[in-house]
Amino acid sequence: MLRRNFIEQSILSMAGAALSTHSFANILIPKPKKRLGVALMGLGYYSTDLLAPALQLTEQCYLAGVTTGTPAKAERWKKQFGLADKNIYDYNDFDRIANNPDIDVVYVVLPPSMHAEFSIRAANAGKHVWCEKPMAMTATECQQMINACNKNKVKLSIGYRMHHEPNTKKIIQFARDLTYGKVMKVQAAAGYFESRTDHWKQKKKLGGGAMYDMGVYPLNAARYSTQLEPIAVTARASTTRPDIYKEVEETISFDLEFPEGVMASCETSFGKNMNDLKATCTKGWYQLSPFQSYSGVQGITSNGTKLNATIPNEQARQMDDDAISIMNNTSMLVPGEEGLKDIRIVEAIHRSADEKKRVVI
């Protein structure tokens, strides 16, 4: 024992002496980035009016670059945000982003038909991926995105900002803790009047239709409100403007069946304004109205408790949360698997509406 103690003390002494020598003092240990550089891909309304301003408020990430197919937009963004020329990409030369250490994350903000391709290309370039909802057009594409990110050891998050919003997080906790008893029924509706008549939202090939765009809000809300996965769906599609909505639905309603008799009645539309979520439980109820507004979420419970917590900016909170997960190498709050679950159900909803029958999921 004395001999072993002597050896251990000798090793510790030598290690301490070695670490104090001049040669070891000159070794530079890389420090983790204090903030992540984000490149927005697609400079439409959501990037221009919401994400870019939010990135001026974030603490964990910043706007470092953009990808656009419009040279005039590239020039305008470069001047407005002081972006370096090397951080401006178009869709053809995007893959050279692999050699740019300024960019840590690519935020894909494109029509749904382009989500899979560019999410996979970003992952193959070694960049973390934030992808707007809906995740992709098909469950197969979603899985391909997940596989690409796993293969390249980068993280993938889907832009469901409500999961980061405090009132939404509160009702999710209600369901988990059975605060108002078991959830028995959910009613959820999200829609607005889309006045544009020649937009990708009216084109099937690009991922148009109310279900892909607004429909994932009530669908996802039904899932997080019940903390269950649906087992069957019955859906009905309609339009009041058939001259505009020739290829895709303007409005779609769908009833989800969950285990143990739990039901959800949902609706989404490009033809009318809707923004409500209510969960009826065995010992009360709670609701959010609006439940997915950019300007904030408000709600109340059956016992009069107000759900009115506020945050400065929903998109900033979402991006900061995701950046922290990347820097700490922890699980994303809304990983690709969450988006995949929704798209698998979206496919069943479309099939039910097309075939006019109940579809088992």
Domain count, the chain: 2
Question: What is the torsional sign of CA 100, 105, 110, 112?
Answer: positive
Largest CA distance in the chain: 92
- CATH number of the domain to which 183 belongs: 3.30.360.10
What is d(CA 58, CA 106) in angstroms, rounded to the nearest whole number?
16
pLDDT of residue 32: 61
Question: Are residues 41 and 135 located together in one domain of the fold?
Answer: yes
Q: Are residues 45 and 128 located together in one domain of the fold?
A: yes
Residue 237 in any domain: the answer is yes
Is residue 93 domain-shared with residue 215, that is, in the same domain?
no
Residue 207 located in a structural domain: yes
**Beta-strand pair 61-67/88-89:** parallel
Cβ-based burial of 282 (10 A; exposed 0-12, middle 13-18, buried ≥19): exposed
In this structure, the answer to whether residues 134 and 204 fall within a common structural domain is no
Q: Which of 113, 134, 160 is the last residue of a domain?
A: 160
- pLDDT averaged per 10 residues, the chain (length 361): 42 39 40 86 98 98 98 97 97 96 98 98 98 98 98 98 98 98 98 97 97 98 98 98 97 98 98 98 98 96 97 98 98 98 98 98 96
Closest residue by Cα to residue 116 from 98, 143, 150: 143
The domain spanning residue 143 has which CATH number? 3.40.50.720
**HEC states along the chain?**
CHHHHHHHHHHHHHHHHHHCCHHHHCCCCCCCCCCEEEEEECCCHHHHHHHHHHCCCCCCEEEEEEECCCHHHHHHHHHHHCCCHHHEECCCCHHHHHHCCCCCEEEECCCHHHHHHHHHHHHHCCCEEEECCCCCCCHHHHHHHHHHHHHCCCCEEECCHHHHCHHHHHHHHHHHHCECECEEEEEEEEEEECCCCCCHHHCHHHCCCHHHHHHHHHHHHHHHHHCCCCCEEEEEEECCCCCCCCCCCCEEEEEEECHHHCEEEEEEECEEEEEEEEEEECCEEEEECCCCCCCCCCEEECCCCEECCCCCCHHHHHHHHHHHHHHHCCCCCCEHHHHHHHHHHHHHHHHHHHHCCCEEC
Q: Are residues 132 and 265 in the same domain?
A: no
Say what the pLDDT of residue 23 is. 36
Residues 123 and 176 in one domain: no
186 Cβ contact list (under 8 Å, min separation 6): 221, 222, 225, 226, 262, 263, 264, 265, 266, 277, 278, 279, 280
Domain that holds residue 201: 166-310+335-360
Residue 346 confidence (pLDDT): 98
